[in-house]
Amino acid sequence: MIVLDEKNRVFTLHTCATTYQMKADSHQVLLHTYYGPRVGNGDLSYLIRHADRGFSPNPSEAGRDRTYSLDTLPQEYATCGVGDFRIPSLEVEPADGSLLSDLRYRGVRRVPGKYALPGLPAFFGGDRWETLIVTLEDAASRVEVELLYGVLEDRDLITRAARITNRGDQTVYLHRADSLCLDFCQGEMDFITFDGCHVMERCMNRTRLRAGIQSVGSVRGTSSHHHNPFVILCQREAGEDYGTCYGAALLYSGNFAISAERTQMENNRLTMGLHPYHFRYALAPGESFTTPEAAMVCSIQGFGQMSRQFHRAIRENLIRAPRAGERRPVLVNHWEATEFHFDADKLVEIAGAAAALGTELFVLDDGWFGKRDSDYSGLGDWQVNQQKLPGGLGALAERIQALGMQFGLWVEPEMVSEDSDLYRAHPDWALGVPGRSRTLGRSQLVLDFSRREVREHIYRDLQKVLDSAEITYIKWDMNRSLTDVWSAALPPERQGEVFHRYVLGLYEMLEWLHRDYPEILIEGCSGGGGRFDAGMLYYTPQIWCSDNTDAIDRLRIQYGTSFCYPVGTMGAHVSAVPNAQTGRIVPMETRGVVAMCGTFGYEMDLRKCTGTERKIAARQIRTYKARWRLIQEGDYYRLTDPFGDGPYTAWQHVSEDRREALVSVVMGAVHAAQPFLALRLKGLDPQRSYRINGSRERYPGDALMNAGYPLPMPMGDYQSLQLYLEAK
């Protein structure tokens, strides 16, 4: 609910459990007054302290009042160069070369439904939303800023974006345009980020906010394996089930910066938006620039509740999957089994062995096109390799379909190999600065997706491929970071736009796919989870979580990922042992338990499994098919932290009506004479009692949550168990 008190210029956004408020003060400055547990509509600006601090300057309108300083007041969208020395939200360079923005309030309006951000990913959902638009202006440069707020009340979700318009008569350059600025009046807080590297993404890091700026971000052109565009700020004592925390996600898949600044007043500012590195965006008179969307959830019951609110909102209001509400197919991908070394017969045999166990979709991975027998050549030539696949994709797809399976395909449309016909014909289509050598990554170059003719060419080739066979799934991969960022299509003064225009180009092409092939399920991928962000989820409802398929490492990767993203978005497959990345041998049952906490599938040659392993796989697939709704649409509870030193990792899915639950437990390395362990469950109905795995006995929900359920003694490393709970 949005409440406008226009007389006092106090604007309040309420969700079920939280309140967010701002106020335009007598100097037309838009102050942020409050964000936290739900309170009434009253003017909360009494919370703001005015103090005369040395070296905190005062705007001329404040006259002799030295307690009025932008340096100390909480701002809704921070000014630049006129007295606030913290991180600015906006940096604009008008024709005179200055870099000031002195934003003042001009007006407010409330709109039913959700604002739109053409060309950018955004939460949707029609009537369930309300929008607030607050207009600010920098009078001297005549730059107008519209702050857009979306409120999804029952999910405690508030989204934000800013639309910046040049109302003057000369071109201005944006150097910075953040999506979010959030000032807190309270003091001590922790900053939690999700960091890592290729094959070990989104590991949780929690640090105390110290004086100065702490930040994460990416200048790789993608959101990256290294830092995720999702962070949490929380009370120091906040934990999984208690304390106030603020989660913020940026719906963007390119360069980003997220910073937390602890100030002289010992309060904190969180900022989020495009990374200012090599960002300089020209706005001609009348033109607008729209920032990506940021989404915030405040929880007063710890991280668990915050995650569940994000999960529901992402599932219901961000993801656009074909046949929404239906189970996605259990897939088998041959990549780890064959890499580039396959022919049609081998693929059909792998598919056949998997089909016999109940998998439903075969994914043809890298190596099917051009001259692509290794990763040194072929990218960009999206024509079938007839030697490997005589008769083309149509013939292979028919053989796969004859097994009762659907057919899916891997592509990497943003890339080109130097050794490719495409590169030989159009060397300037790859990013690179004339006169400099180009930097390779996985021996490949990046196509300039900021150029429409490049996108159109690649899209036409893809269309030919997609029209040549019945394809129901695409894995859209992207296997290197951007370097040598320069576009032959833009003049020197506009090269600072290329990073962002690349991402907009990517989004546009994915939107063409949605328009022309609405029935195709798209899985995102960037060397695993190098572009696992809320922006991509708008186009690709699932993302390959990591190239690391080791089940024990996956516990950490999927745990970190779960803080923002629902399990149904996490590509997770059972793979062969010893694992290709770690050499570890984990029991087949455990590999299945871990992969089932994701989109579920197999990344191996099931022909090579023993009879017992095949039986286990068939049972896993049956279990998943029986429990998928509970797993994918139920509420997710983290029971333990795999980064801690506990003897096991556990999590739980609970149906909305709390009648069903699935508990998964993975033990660590075994030790003799382990102590008895009892696992305390969460989210059950305390009034109900539950059968466990079909037992006659019933266990009271309140006892299971408060006293726990005894775990069996493991024999052997990395054992696992699943408990299916059913209320009577």
Nearer to ligand GLA, 366 or 613 (CB): 366
* DSSP strands (E only) in 156-267: 157-166, 172-184, 189-197, 200-208, 212-218, 230-235, 245-251, 256-262
Backbone torsions φ then ψ of 44, nearest 5 degrees: -95, 15
Instruction: Please report how close the Cβ of residue 344 comes to ligand GLA at its closest, in angstroms.
Output: 18
Contact 254, 499 (CB under 8 A): yes
Q: State the amino acid at position 371 in one-letter form.
A: K
C-alpha torsion angle, residues 436, 441, 442, 447 (rounded to 10): -80
Nearer to ligand GLA, 549 or 590 (CB): 549
525 near ligand GLA, judged by CB under 6 A: yes
598 near ligand GLA, judged by CB under 6 A: no
330 near ligand GLA, judged by CB under 6 A: no
Q: What angle do CA 554, 243, 634 make, to 5 degrees?
A: 45
Residue entry with tokens 């547990």: 37
> What is the full DSSP assignment across 27-79?
TS-EEEEEEEE---SS-GGGGPPP---TT----GGGTT-TT--TTTS-BSS--
Nearer to ligand GLA, 374 or 383 (CB): 374
Instruction: Please report how close the Cβ of residue 623 comes to ligand GLA at its closest, in angstroms.
Output: 25
* CA-based nearest residue to 309, from 37, 679, 563: 563
Give the SS3 label for residue 102. coil
> What is the full DSSP assignment across 432-486?
--TTSPPPPBTTEEEB-TTSHHHHHHHHHHHHHHHHTS---EEEE---S---S--
Nearer to ligand GLA, 108 or 604 (CB): 604
Contact 277, 255 (CB under 8 A): yes
720 near ligand GLA, judged by CB under 6 A: no
Annotation says 533 is catalytic: yes
Contact 417, 452 (CB under 8 A): no
Among 263, 479, 548, 632, indicate the residue that binds ligand GLA (CB under 6 A): 479
Instruction: Please report how close the Cβ of residue 365 comes to ligand GLA at its closest, in angstroms.
Output: 5
121 near ligand GLA, judged by CB under 6 A: no
Contact 694, 654 (CB under 8 A): no
Q: How far apart are CA 7 and CA 5, in angstroms?
A: 6
Nearer to ligand GLA, 412 or 660 (CB): 412
528 near ligand GLA, judged by CB under 6 A: yes
Residues 6+ apart with CB under 8 A from 373: 340, 341, 367
* CA-based nearest residue to 197, from 587, 534, 481: 481
What number of chain residues touch ligand GLA (CB under 6 A)?
11
Nearer to ligand GLA, 575 or 655 (CB): 575
222 near ligand GLA, judged by CB under 6 A: no
Nearer to ligand GLA, 499 or 544 (CB): 544
Nearer to ligand GLA, 528 or 592 (CB): 528
547 near ligand GLA, judged by CB under 6 A: yes
Distances, alpha carbon 418 to alpha carbons 222, 333, 498, 693, in Å: 21, 27, 21, 56
Position closest to ligand GLA via CB: 366
602 near ligand GLA, judged by CB under 6 A: no
Instruction: Please report how close the Cβ of residue 198 comes to ligand GLA at its closest, in angstroms.
Output: 9
Among the options 84, 293, 533, 553, which is catalytic? Answer: 533
Distance linking the first and last C-alpha atoms of the chain: 38
Nearer to ligand GLA, 317 or 444 (CB): 444
Instruction: Please report how close the Cβ of residue 526 comes to ligand GLA at its closest, in angstroms.
Output: 7
366 near ligand GLA, judged by CB under 6 A: yes
Q: Which stretch in 275-283, 444-452, 521-529, 585-593 sits in contact with ligand GLA by CB under 6 A? A: 521-529
553 near ligand GLA, judged by CB under 6 A: no
Nearer to ligand GLA, 299 or 479 (CB): 479
Chain Cα centroid distance, residue 428: 32
Here's the x/- map for ligand GLA, 436-475, by CB under 6 A: it reads as ----------------------------------------
Among the options 613, 633, 635, 660, which is catalytic? Answer: 613
Please state whether beta strands 677-679 and 473-476 pair in parallel, antiparallel, or not at all (unpaired): unpaired
What are the structure tokens assigned to 389, written together? 């696949």
Q: Which stretch in 149-157, 297-305, 523-531, 718-726 sits in contact with ligand GLA by CB under 6 A? A: 523-531
Here's the x/- map for ligand GLA, 333-352, by CB under 6 A: it reads as --x-----------------
523 near ligand GLA, judged by CB under 6 A: no
Instruction: Please report how close the Cβ of residue 540 comes to ligand GLA at its closest, in angstroms.
Output: 13
Among 527, 587, 592, 601, indicate the residue that binds ligand GLA (CB under 6 A): 527
Contact 499, 278 (CB under 8 A): yes
365 near ligand GLA, judged by CB under 6 A: yes
544 near ligand GLA, judged by CB under 6 A: yes
Among 115, 230, 362, 410, indicate the residue that binds ligand GLA (CB under 6 A): 410
> What is the full DSSP assignment across 114-168?
----TTS-----GGGEEEEEEEEEETTTTEEEEEEEEEEGGGTEEEEEEEEEE-S
Residues 6+ apart with CB under 8 A from 306: 232, 245, 246, 247, 297, 298, 299, 563
So which residues are the catalytic ones?
A: 533, 613
**Residues in the site for ligand GLA, rule: CB under 6 A?**
335, 365-366, 410, 477, 479, 525, 527-528, 544, 547
